[in-house]
Structure 1
Amino acid sequence: MMEQMFPDIPRLYTAIAEWIACVIYIIPLKKKLKGMRLILVLAGMLGLQCLVQGIAGRMPIAFWVPGMILAMVFMYLNIYCCCDLSLLDTGYCCARAFITAEFAASLGWQLYCFFFLGRTMDNRVVPVMVMGLTYAAVFFMIYLLESKRILRNVRLGVSGKELISAVLIAAAAFIISNVYFAVQTTVFQGQTGAALFFIRTVVDFSGLTMLYAQQEQRNEIRLRREVEALDQVLNRQYEQYQQSKGNIELLNRKYHDLKHQIAIIRSEEDPEKKESYLVEMDHAIKIYESNNNTGNKVLDVVLTGKNMYCVEHHINLTCVIDGQQLAFMKAMDICSIFGNALDNAIESVMKLKEQEKRLIRVAVYSQNNLLMMRFENYIEEVPAFEEGLPATTKKNKDFHGYGIKSIKHTAEKYGGNLTIHTEDNWFVLRVLIPRWDKKMTGYPQKMTV
């Protein structure tokens, strides 16, 4: 005698599972809404989710697929409205939340049907208790796993390929686990209800495991990139050390030369020659001190090192800077902007064979209560731009543009922005920041120009 088929999961339990699955992903993610607004949106989405599933449950089987698609759309909207995520990030979380909900609902209903359905103790309270306990256990475990692997209060940075992969895994798991709903004649025909529910639960669990493995792979790739980026920073620091070492050696040579020049001047009896020697010495000294008296001690240190490097490599660095305008900025931020901007300019002009074209100009001034930092360097060919940044010609493109991104991040921290363009044969990088009183307790809002 064939075993009686189990009834399908009530749509109310499915709706609640979908809503809870969204919530466990919303909790650790960067929020778009907070406080009472967040609570009201979540409550409203719970009502809509129950309404959609309730209506879909009363429709003919032909409307089952459209009903599930509509439920997924509301899950997507729930996450997107509550969290500050991109469309790709939201889709990735939605796919994971959907399979999590499917697994929890399938497991809970299977446990209820296997142990309690049709028995004397069966009543309306029992399924609620079984589903409630199952949901509590499953979603708590999923939350513990996901909260440790999702970076809190930041965007996920999901790529298009990663989203497609997650959606395909979720879709495959859902279709295989529910195929007997849409196809009347299937390979499952003749199987018992218990077997069908077992297959459904196992397939949903397999899909959940595959999505979990994908997330682990994403985290490993992210950590590997962070390590590689750290290596890049350490290499850059070593290069800075080598540059400082070279600057010290250059100073020692100049010091040695000055001792001999002073000795020659002392022994020179011709007043005209003595004067010419003094003029030459004065000119040499001015070359090294021309950019280290801006009115900002931090900037003076940065410019002194860069200027010495430029002199040694026949680069003409011209600065017109009012360093007092930078008094409201932190030392690290000044070093970040000027260090990265000058490094990029030096790297660019070093490619020029003609030394007279190795020109860099820096200007810092205020205008209309705005601080302008302008960096220009001569170029022979206008570079191509990708997403507002110069396209790289380097083999390793993954770590291109970190200097410019660092400058942009620093500018935005003070409510400013960064623009890059070309004028004739000049590459121009501009940093525009609203003037900020150091006594203020926060930064101004981000500006738009």
Structure 2
Amino acid sequence: MSEVRLVVAILVPAIFTLILKDFFDLFMTNRYEGKVKQYTIWMLYFLLDTVISMNFKFVGVISMLYSFIILIAFCAVLYRDDIKYITLTVLFIICIGAASELIVALGIRAFLNSSQLQQFSLFGSTCSKLIILIIVRIVKLFRVSGIKRLDYMNWLANVSMTAGSLYIVYNLYLLSLNETKLLGSTMSSIIILLLNVICFKMFDKIAADAEIKRKNDIYKQSIDIYKREMEEREEHNEKLRRFRHDIKNHLIAIEKLALSKEYDRLRDYIHQLTDEKGVLQVTTISGNALIDGLLADKFDVARKYEIAVEYHIEIPTKLPFDDADLCIIVGNALDNAIDGTKDIEGAKKIEISMGFKQGNFLLKVKNTFNPELIKFDNNGKRLRTSKTDKSNHGMGIGLIEETALKYNGLMEITMNENLFCLSVLLYQN
């Protein structure tokens, strides 16, 4: 039994240290960039905590006070946050730990007699750490989803894994009521706890890779827009250079047509120089290269569906927001408007209003739509549709809202008869 307790006294705190690191990294800013320094300091915490715990048996309030002091000391070294914020965060995890141990203790006492309580203390220690782990995971899923919605299947996988582990650990201890099997069941329980930590790290890696891929796609879209904008400007400049070179000939031709009173030919000649594909046509909409590229791209799509587009835009050539975020907001807002308008019967119209004043960016996109095709979900935010492509339709609305929150902004949707209005407000950080 002494060997079992020694193993538990080392492995369980080691795993719990990883859980603590995961939790504090969520809420606070690391002082050190390198992972080696971070893990080295956490290893020192683990060693110091293990030595103190083996030599001093703290109980009750003294135990919580000890945990409080040592965690604040190490967090002050590890993180650059204000000491008041660190204190609050440490109190939070201590409360979670105390609550989980209380829940497990009450559960054990409800099902076991007094002679079995000591034997099941190892089970209780493992279960309490699993409960803390699942709480940390749930908090992380909600907190890290600043740009991602909380994916239901991801949440279910996380919760099911930990809940299933609790059930397995419980049954392992039920099967090991004699001491000869206790070591095996204890080690199995610790392995299950460790596997949970590893699997959750893998979940994080997969989620991070997916987020990187999504951002890369957005940046690629931004680069493509810039590239098209530069190509169009270069083509326009080349035409303008040729026009300037031939301006004398053009003026001579205009003069001769005027003198000969061939006014119809003169009008056609001037129109040829100033039509929408001519060298005098300026494609600039707002002066902001990124926004102009996005608008030009979406206007081409709208024309294909015979959608009338009106716009009023007053923005500077450079906005104080990340280009990728602007692509998400403006691009998805226009895509949503086009999707909602293209298949309706009757007038197809989109109105765009965009402005930037005193550090505030406001975008309003109104479009005609069919109310029967678009509905809200239960919380009134995400769109549902009767179309067959349910997995992707309305997803852009969620991305817009999440990106707006990044700048402490907001998104609002209103519907008036056959008019759908999407408004987005961003604040300059």
- The bucket for the TM-score relative to the shorter chain is 0.5 to 0.7
Equivalent residue, structure 2, for 1:28: 22
How far did 1:47 drift?
Answer: 7.2
How far did 1:424 drift?
Answer: 1.6
Q: Specify whether residues 298 and 226 from structure 1 end up closer, same or farther in structure 2 by C-alpha distance, changes over 3 A only.
A: closer
Matched, 1:350 2:346: no
Matched, 1:415 2:411: no
Q: Specify whether residues 62 and 167 from structure 1 end up closer, same or farther in structure 2 by C-alpha distance, changes over 3 A only.
A: same
Aligned pairs for 1:344-423 within 5 A: 344-352=336-344, 357-365=347-355, 370-381=360-371, 382-386=373-377, 388-391=381-384, 393=387, 395=389, 397=391, 401=394, 403-423=396-416
SS class of match (1:421): strand
Equivalent residue, structure 1, for 2:420: 427
Equivalent residue, structure 1, for 2:184: 199
**For residues 36 and 88 of structure 1, what CA distance do their matches in structure 2 show?**
19
Matched, 1:37 2:122: no
Q: Specify whether residues 86 and 208 from structure 1 end up closer, same or farther in structure 2 by C-alpha distance, changes over 3 A only.
A: closer
Q: Specify whether residues 347 and 7 from structure 1 end up closer, same or farther in structure 2 by C-alpha distance, changes over 3 A only.
A: same
SS class of match (1:294): coil
Match of 2:138 among 68, 86, 92: 86
SS class of match (1:344): helix
Match of 1:173 among 169, 172, 190: 169
**For residues 313 and 50 of structure 1, what CA distance do their matches in structure 2 show?**
62
Q: Specify whether residues 402 and 227 from structure 1 end up closer, same or farther in structure 2 by C-alpha distance, changes over 3 A only.
A: farther
**For residues 309 and 89 of structure 1, what CA distance do their matches in structure 2 show?**
37
Aligned amino acid, residue 368 of structure 2: Y
Equivalent residue, structure 1, for 2:299: 307
Q: Specify whether residues 210 and 20 from structure 1 end up closer, same or farther in structure 2 by C-alpha distance, changes over 3 A only.
A: closer
Q: Specify whether residues 401 and 326 from structure 1 end up closer, same or farther in structure 2 by C-alpha distance, changes over 3 A only.
A: farther
Gaps of 5+ in 1: 1-5, 91-149, 182-191, 437-442, 444-449
Identity, in percent, stands at 16
Q: Specify whether residues 405 and 239 from structure 1 end up closer, same or farther in structure 2 by C-alpha distance, changes over 3 A only.
A: farther
**1:296–1:324 contact (8 Å) kept in structure 2:** yes
SS class of match (2:292): helix
State the Cα RMSD in Å: 5.7
Aligned pairs for 1:187-226 within 5 A: 193=179, 195-204=180-189, 207-208=192-193, 211=196, 215=200, 218=203, 222=207
Match of 2:329 among 331, 337, 347: 337
Q: Specify whether residues 162 and 241 from structure 1 end up closer, same or farther in structure 2 by C-alpha distance, changes over 3 A only.
A: same
**For residues 229 and 302 of structure 2, what CA distance do their matches in structure 1 show?**
13
Aligned amino acid, residue 375 of structure 2: A
**1:411–1:432 contact (8 Å) kept in structure 2:** yes
Q: Specify whether residues 326 and 161 from structure 1 end up closer, same or farther in structure 2 by C-alpha distance, changes over 3 A only.
A: same
**1:45–1:74 contact (8 Å) kept in structure 2:** no
**For residues 59 and 89 of structure 1, what CA distance do their matches in structure 2 show?**
32
Structure-2-length-normalised TM-score: 0.56
Aligned amino acid, residue 345 of structure 1: A
SS class of match (2:26): coil
**2:286–2:314 contact (8 Å) kept in structure 1:** yes
Deviations 1:24-58 (A, max 9, x none): 21202443475333445556777788888899999
**2:401–2:410 contact (8 Å) kept in structure 1:** yes
Aligned amino acid, residue 429 of structure 1: L
Aligned pairs for 1:59-98 within 5 A: 61-62=112-113, 86=138
Aligned pairs for 1:70-149 within 5 A: 86=138
**1:247–1:308 contact (8 Å) kept in structure 2:** no
Equivalent residue, structure 2, for 1:134: none
How far did 1:374 drift?
Answer: 0.2
Aligned amino acid, residue 299 of structure 2: N
Gaps of 5+ in 2: 29-84
Q: Report the number of matched residues.
A: 347
Deviations 1:259-304 (A, max 9, x none): 9xx9998869443674487579867579x96973435444334333
